[in-house]
Structures are given as C-alpha cells and as structure tokens.
C-alpha cells in the first residue's frame, strides 16, 4: 500500500494540511469512554439531519421542495463542453467537483442502507428521503453512462476548483469533463457504478421501468469493467485507487448477484473474483462489504479454501479490540482511527457493516469466529453503537462531530457553500480574494451545514474546529451515506439493537 488513502479533497483546499495537533494535556486524562449501553442520543434527529447533509451537496436544478434554504441551482452548464447534459449529482465534500468513484460508492451504500434498514427508515419517516437521495444520484449516473462502453466520470477541474473558495452557485471555475472508454478504461469506476445501479434497482423494484433501466445499465457497466481491466488515474491525486480494481469487481458481481440471483455472477464470485481479508471498508476498499453480503450464501472465495463467511469474520476480528487478531488502531477515547482526513468513514462504515452482519448472524444462529474464540452478534451491535455514539458526543471532548446536532457541534466545516454568504445569482467572484473573504476569517460559517459528519478527531481524540483544519472539519458524502443505516437502527430498535422485522433484500 502506498502512503495514504486520504483524498486530497478531504485535506486540502487553500491552507489545508493542518492536522489536529492541539496538544491538550487534558486528552491524556479520564478517557474511559466505555459507557456504551448507558449512553443515549436523539438518534432520530441525527438520522434526519444526516440525510439533510446530502441534500446540501446536490448539484443541478434543485426541486421546489428543496429543504436547504441557502442552496440554489448550480452547475447548470455541466456537460456543455461536450454538448451533453451532465447536470445533477453530488458535490463530493467541501469542494465543488463531482467525482465519479466516491459518488457511485455513496449511492451504493445509501441503497444498501435502504435495503437493510428499510423498516427502521420507514418507521422514522425517512425512507422517502433516502430514496430521493439515491435517485438524485442514479438520475445523474444514467446521464453519465448514456453511451455504451463510455462514461463521464468527473465534472470540474479539481486543481482550479481548489484555487477558488466559492459556493457552487457562483463558481467561475472550469467544469472540465473527464471520461472513460475502450481506450482509456476505468475498471474501478465502471464496476462501482454497476454496483450502485444494481443496488438501486433493488430499492426501486416497484418502479418497474426505472428499475429495469438501472439494471440494464448495471449489466453493461459490469461487462465494460470486466473486459477492460485498467485503473483510471484521472481522479488522482484526489481520488487514487490504492487498492486496485479487484475489490470493485467482486463488489459489482455481488450486487448483480443480489439483484438477479443469476448463476453467471455466482460463478464469477466463486471461481474468478479475487477476495482478500482486510481491516478496512471505504470508498477505495470494498472487500468486507462484499464478504458480509455473501456470507449467507454459502460460497467460497475463488481459490476455494476460505468461505466468504470466514473472510467476513476476519474483518470483524481485525477491527474488534477484544479479539486475538485485532489490527485496527482505536484511539484512547475509543474511536477507530486509520488515517487523518475523512477518518469518520471508517467509523460509520464499520458501524454499518457490523449491524448488518449481526442481523444475519442472528437469523442463521451463528457467531463470528476469531480463531477458536466465538464473538456473539450482541458484541458487534455494542461496538457499532459505541462508534456512532462517539461521533454524536460520547467522546473525551464531550462534544458532537455532527453539525447542528447535540452538544457543542462544529461551527467551521471546511466547505465552500456553507462558509460563503448567499450571493445574488450571477455575482462575479474573484477567486484570488475568495480565500481572504470567506476561508480565512475565524468565525462560524454563515450557513449551517446541518447533519454533516466531520472528518473527525485525530488518533489522540483531538479536534480543531477551524475551517483550515480540513482533516478534522471536512465532510464527505460517503461518511454520511454509511452513517444513515446505523442511525436508523439506533433510532428504530430497542437498546439491544436486535431487528424485529425482516429486511427488504428481495431480488428484482
């Protein structure tokens, strides 16, 4: 593995690169942190807000029922440089670029949440909002993938975007287009997008025409990905695929299998796909997600010797601090910490996977096996709750890392739209002045980026609530998409988090 997975967009943008290094001696004291079970938050409120953040990231023409009052239409000429319509979709993080790989991953994981925690989302009155959030992504993806063996994979020149601190409604920066095709393949993006569309087709199965469109496109993109094996490096250094494309190929085949139950995908999964045991689930690395989805299906990974159940177990064993095989660093305050910058994705992603896996383990009456040590599903749920509780306020600082939620929430998210005042449409912004005017001032953002989960504290539980501390204060769409299922479970189930109703994973 090369240096870091951290996308520069979750680090940089003007005076970025500042780490959370406030040397507060306090942090060394009283960090028991382990009061899980006793702690409780208004999870329903956190859930509602976590979806609102995704609405604040919308690009394109906003609908009349837009709930984010400080947002307006933006990126309305996206695609024009190639005479196509690429309006819509999501800005990734604190910048105004639409990156294909993390955008598709955001949609895949949102769709998974809508399938795995459907009764809970429904009970909270949020299923419709999550479905709308998925569709905001899939409508855009369908535009990007309109032609066969071709896909528009990015809108916006990230280097120039990062030299301008301006809200998307007024951006003067070039909306450069990036594409993959037969000559310039992009296996990761094509496969992740196939996964996103297959998972979304399951969500929209009752909308038959739309689901069929999604499914047909998913199959074509999967074929394209498999027959053109090459990493696209055009999103690097912002989103470099450090893990290669094998995980995306397995992940795409898994979602196509989930949606269709067709043998052709099962064959690929058992005979061809490469699958490894890893300790991370992220926009770059998807093995544990696929392994947990495949664990119920009694299949072995190709090579034959390990079942997907064993590999899913290995993920759990690598994360949990109380197993003989743990690898993942946990801060003194109890939070998973893999690296600075968008670290919260590992926190929310692990919580989500643990809750999904615990449900299946219960149904199948199985434990996780860490060598000879059995781990009960209840332990996975307890750990998942503790990770989410940390972000909501049960941490050494006693503060929330979710904007607009709980105690002492962040006030200076590293985010262009939230930190620039609302300007009249057509206002011409001077990029040179923009950093002095809107990035540098030490004051709360004028617009509340409600529900945004920050990149989060560093490995010593330290956090700087400053716009230029981007590793701490930058949000990303996939941090939130991964949180939504876990928050729904916390909001809708009793204290032991056991499912009372079945899921909605029916195939197409």
Ligand X SMILES: *[C@@H]1O[C@H](CO)[C@@H](O)[C@H](O)[C@H]1NC(C)=O
Least gap, CB of 140 to ligand X (angstroms) = 34
For residues 282 and 468, which CB has a smaller minimum distance to ligand X in the complex? 468
Q: Quote the least distance from Cβ 313 to ligand X, whole Å.
A: 10
308 vs 405, beta carbon nearer ligand X: 308
Cβ(247)–Cβ(195) under 8 Å? Answer: no
Q: Which two tokens stand for residue 455?
A: 């990149």
Between 22 and 84, whose beta carbon lies closer to ligand X? 22
Measured from the CB atom, the residue of 179 and 302 that comes closer to ligand X is 302
Q: How far is the CB of 165 from ligand X (least distance, A)?
A: 13
Nearer to ligand X, 39 or 306 (CB): 306
Give me the least distance between CB of 459 and ligand X, in Å please: 20
∠ CA(15), CA(157), CA(338), 5° rounding?
55
Q: How far is the CB of 10 from ligand X (least distance, A)?
A: 17
Q: Is the dihedral of CA 115, 121, 123, 127 positive or negative?
A: negative
Cβ of residue 255: shortest distance to ligand X, in angstroms? 23
**What are the residues facing 90 on neighbouring strands?**
58
The DSSP annotation for 295-323 comes to GGGT-BPTTSSSBHHHHHHHHHHHH-TTS
Query: Environment class of residue 243 by beta-carbon count within 10 Å: exposed (0-12), middle (13-18) or buried (19+)?
Result: buried
Residues that bind ligand X (CB under 6 A): 15, 18, 300, 304-307, 310, 442, 466, 468
User: What is the rounded CA–CA span in Å between residue 146 and residue 220?
Assistant: 11
CB half-sphere exposure, 222, CA atoms < 13 A: 25
For the question of residue 503 being annotated catalytic, the response is no
Is residue 194 within 8 Å of residue 258, measured between CB atoms?
A: no
Contacts of 348 (CB under 8 A, 6+ apart): 387, 388, 391, 453, 479, 480, 482, 483, 486
Of these residues, 228, 337, 414, 415, which one is catalytic? 414
- Name the minimum Å distance from CB 309 to ligand X: 8
The end-to-end CA distance of the chain, in Å, is 38
Evaluate the CA torsion angle 338, 10, 450, 103 in order and state its sign. negative
Q: Under the phi-then-psi rule, with left for phi > 0, alpha for psi from -120 to 50, and beta for the rest, what region is 399?
A: beta
What is the set of active-site residues?
414
């Amino acid at each position: 593995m090369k240096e870091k997975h951290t996308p520069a967009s979750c680090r940089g943008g003007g005076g970025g690169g500042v780490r959370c290094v406030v040397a507060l001696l306090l942090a060394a004291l009283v960090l028991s942190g382990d009061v899980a079970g006793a702690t409780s938050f208004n999870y329903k409120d956190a859930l509602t807000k976590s979806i609102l953040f995704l609405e604040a990231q919308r690009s394109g023409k906003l609908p009349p029922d837009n709930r984010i009052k400080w947002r307006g239409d933006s990126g309305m000429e996206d695609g024009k440089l190639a005479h196509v319509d690429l309006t819509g979709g999501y800005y990734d993080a604190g910048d105004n670029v639409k990156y294909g790989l993390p955008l598709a991953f955001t949609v895949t994981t949102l769709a998974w949440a809508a399938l795995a925690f459907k009764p809970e989302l429904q009970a909270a009155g949020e299923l419709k909002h999550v479905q709308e959030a998925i569709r905001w992504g899939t409508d855009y993806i369908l535009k990007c993938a309109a032609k066969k063996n071709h896909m528009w994979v990015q809108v916006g020149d990230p280097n120039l975007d990062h030299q301008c601190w301006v809200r998307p409604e007024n951006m003067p920066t070039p909306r450069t287009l990036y594409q993959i095709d037969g000559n310039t393949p992009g296996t990761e993006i094509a496969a992740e997008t196939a996964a996103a569309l297959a998972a979304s087709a399951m969500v929209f199965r009752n909308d038959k025409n739309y689901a069929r469109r999604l499914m047909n496109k998913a199959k074509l993109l999967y074929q394209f990905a498999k027959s053109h094996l090459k990493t696209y490096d055009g999103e690097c250094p912002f989103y470099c695929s450090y893990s290669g494309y094998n995980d995306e190929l397995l992940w795409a085949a898994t979602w196509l299998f989930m949606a269709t139950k067709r043998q052709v995908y099962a064959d690929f999964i058992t005979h061809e796909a490469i699958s490894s045991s890893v300790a991370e689930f992220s926009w770059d690395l998807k093995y544990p997600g696929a392994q947990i989805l495949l664990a119920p299906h009694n299949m072995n990974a190709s090579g034959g010797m390990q079942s997907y159940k064993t590999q899913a177990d290995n993920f759990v064993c690598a994360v949990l601090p109380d197993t003989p095989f743990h690898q993942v660093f946990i801060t003194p305050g109890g939070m998973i910490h893999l690296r600075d910058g968008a670290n919260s994705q590992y926190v929310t992603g692990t919580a989500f996977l643990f809750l999904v896996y615990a449900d299946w383990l219960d149904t199948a009456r199985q434990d996780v096996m860490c060598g000879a040590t059995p781990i009960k599903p209840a332990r996975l749920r307890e750990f998942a709750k503790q990770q989410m509780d940390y972000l909501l306020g049960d941490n050494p600082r006693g503060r929330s890392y979710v904007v607009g939620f709980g105690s002492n929430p962040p006030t200076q998210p590293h985010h262009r739209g939230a930190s620039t005042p609302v300007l009249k449409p057509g206002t011409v912004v001077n990029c040179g002045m923009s950093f002095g005017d809107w990035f540098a001032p030490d004051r709360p953002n004028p617009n509340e980026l409600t529900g945004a989960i920050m990149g989060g504290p560093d490995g010593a539980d330290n956090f700087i609530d400053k716009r230029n501390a981007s590793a701490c204060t930058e949000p990303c769409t996939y941090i939130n998409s991964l949180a939504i299922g876990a928050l729904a479970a916390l909001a809708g189930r009793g204290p032991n988090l056991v499912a009372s109703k079945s899921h909605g994973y029916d195939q197409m």
